């Protein structure tokens, strides 16, 4: 059953990743979260979560984040999965859609992890073709996210940032800058995280991700694991500050996937991101005022932080009524039967 939604634009402020333990509380409390992001693959069926998301979509702007399309697969896209993604977008009418610069399908197997590409012309042609297919199918621009990686390929002819910039130029896609991924990969593969961000085409970055990571010691190797299982650490906040300072405010998502805490922790992290952005922009305005005598000064990138779209919160539609079938007949169950309930 399709539900009509009014368009709700994602503001250049913080939102949270919607996780199943929080759905009931989101529906009853309706906390002030700027926007929500969901993993597309969790909403390709017809379970209760899909019904819940239809209700939440009436209140919150939505971003759909794919994790399983495998845009880097040399074997091409899984057309069935692409069609399922198209249907999710048609059903929920998200304001943003994103996927990863990675591959996860090869030899007929889905690995449930995001693997790095060898960054060269061959891979660029593959990914560009797949991104174009994706954008043509969805009839919209899609944001492509940088990867957290534990290894790289010796034969790469460019780095990931150069690859992403070339992909934007070739396909017109946007970018999703995952600041935690930048830090994790830069540490694990030993490159400069700020230089990575600076090398990306700023105008293409339509969203930022923030998350926590784990630190594992394997022998003498200290490796950062992108587990999305803790608060955003200070080092990632510092890199976020660098990004916002360069880019201006962007829609920013708090991701948390393992050991998911209570909802208020996520909302607190989102509030912190908003405060940090506001303080950076305030300082920037103060500095601009001081410099007003030199009129030729270039204005910083003016993304609409102050004039963001207001997100009204309409009352939930009563579509649930159709699903609550009032029993028209009553009959005591025969003793033969036993009825149990399994929690979803």
Partner 1 sequence: MLPLEHLQTTMARAVLALEPSIGAKALTAGKADPLARLRIYQNNTRSSLTAVLMAVFPVTVHLVDERFFRYAASEFIRRHPPAESRLARYGAGFPRFLKSIDTLSDMPIVAETARLEWAIAEALDAASLPARSLADFENMDLGTSPDILMQPSLRLILSHWSILSVWTAHQQDAADRHSGWTRRAERVALWRAGDSIRLVRLDRANFAFLHSLKHGLGLEHAAGRALALDPGFDLVSALVRLFGDGLVTAVRAAANSHSNSWRQS
Residues 106-135 that bind partner 1 (CB under 8 A): 106-113, 115, 117-118, 122-123, 126
What is each CA distance from 199 to 58, 125, 245, 281, 315, in whole angstroms?
Answer: 38, 21, 14, 22, 44
Q: Which of 53, 64, 97, 152 binds partner 1 (CB under 8 A)?
A: 152
Residues 245-304 that bind partner 1 (CB under 8 A): none
Residues in the chain: 344
* Residue 180 contacts partner 1 per CB under 8 A: no
Contacts of 112 (CB under 8 A, 6+ apart): 104
Q: Are 269 and 28 in contact (CB under 8 A)?
A: no
b/e code 194-213 from CB counts within 10 Å (16+ = b): eebbeebeeebbbbbbbbbb
Element containing residue 320 per DSSP (H, E): none
Q: How far is the CB of 1 from partner 1 (least distance, A)?
A: 8
* Residue 84 contacts partner 1 per CB under 8 A: yes
* Residue 214 contacts partner 1 per CB under 8 A: no
**Site size for partner 1, by CB under 8 A?**
72
Q: Which of 136, 155, 293, 294 binds partner 1 (CB under 8 A)?
A: 155
**For 298, which DSSP code?**
P
Encoded one letter per residue, x for contact with partner 1 by CB under 8 A and - for no contact, window 314-333 reads: --------xx-xxxxxxx-x
Q: Which of 13, 58, 63, 73 binds partner 1 (CB under 8 A)?
A: 73
Q: How far is the CB of 20 from partner 1 (least distance, A)?
A: 10
* Residue 19 contacts partner 1 per CB under 8 A: no
Gap between the Cα atoms of 145 and 143, Å rounded? 7
Q: Which is nearer to partner 1, 120 or 194 (CB)?
A: 120
Among the listed ranges 39-47, 246-254, 283-291, 298-306, the one in contact with partner 1 (CB under 8 A) is: 39-47
Q: How far is the CB of 315 from partner 1 (least distance, A)?
A: 21
Torsions phi, psi for 216 (to 5 deg) = -115, 140
Gap between the Cα atoms of 313 and 58, Å rounded? 8
Torsions phi, psi for 257 (to 5 deg) = -120, -25
Q: Is 14 helix (H, G, I), strand (E, B) or coil?
A: strand
Q: Which of 103, 163, 196, 240 binds partner 1 (CB under 8 A)?
A: 103
Q: Which is nearer to partner 1, 48 or 275 (CB)?
A: 48
Could you give the angle at which helices 160-171 and 121-138 cross, rounded to 10 degrees? 40
* Residue 55 contacts partner 1 per CB under 8 A: no
Among the listed ranges 25-33, 182-190, 269-277, 284-292, the one in contact with partner 1 (CB under 8 A) is: 182-190
Q: Are 215 and 224 in contact (CB under 8 A)?
A: yes
Q: Which is nearer to partner 1, 296 or 336 (CB)?
A: 336
Q: Which is nearer to partner 1, 40 or 176 (CB)?
A: 40
């Amino acid at each position: 059953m399709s539900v009509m939604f009014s368009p709700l634009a994602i503001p250049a402020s913080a939102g949270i990743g919607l996780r199943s333990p929080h759905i009931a509380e989101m529906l009853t409390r309706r906390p002030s979260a700027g926007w929500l992001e969901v993993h597309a693959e969790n909403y390709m069926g017809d379970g209760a979560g899909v019904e819940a998301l239809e209700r939440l979509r009436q209140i919150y702007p939505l971003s759909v984040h794919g994790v399983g399309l495998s845009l880097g697969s040399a074997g091409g896209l899984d057309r069935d999965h692409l069609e399922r993604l198209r249907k999710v977008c048609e059903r929920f009418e998200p304001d943003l859609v994103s996927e990863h610069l990675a591959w996860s399908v090869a030899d007929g197997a889905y690995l449930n992890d995001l693997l790095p590409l060898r960054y060269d012309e061959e891979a660029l042609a593959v990914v560009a073709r797949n991104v174009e297919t994706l954008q043509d199918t969805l009839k919209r621009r899609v944001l492509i996210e940088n990867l957290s990686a534990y290894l790289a390929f010796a034969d790469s002819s460019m780095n990931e940032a150069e690859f992403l910039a070339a992909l934007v130029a070739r396909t017109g896609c946007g970018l999703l800058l995952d600041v935690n991924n930048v830090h994790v990969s830069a540490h694990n593969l030993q490159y400069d995280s700020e230089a990575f961000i600076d090398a990306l085409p700023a105008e293409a970055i339509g969203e930022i991700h923030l998350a926590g990571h784990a630190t594992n010691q394997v022998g003498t190797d200290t490796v950062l694991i992108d587990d999305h299982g803790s608060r955003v650490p200070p080092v990632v906040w510092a890199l976020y500050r660098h990004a916002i300072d360069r880019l201006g405010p962007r829609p920013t998502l708090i991701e948390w996937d393992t050991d998911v805490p209570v909802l208020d922790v996520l909302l607190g992290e989102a509030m912190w991101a908003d405060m940090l952005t506001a303080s950076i922009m305030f300082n920037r305005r103060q500095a601009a005022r001081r410099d007003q005598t030199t009129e030729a000064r270039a204005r910083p990138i003016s993304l609409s932080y102050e004039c963001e779209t207001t997100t009204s919160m309409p009352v939930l539609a009563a579509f649930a009524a159709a699903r609550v079938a009032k029993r028209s007949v009553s009959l005591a169950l025969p003793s033969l039967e036993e009825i149990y309930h399994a929690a979803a």
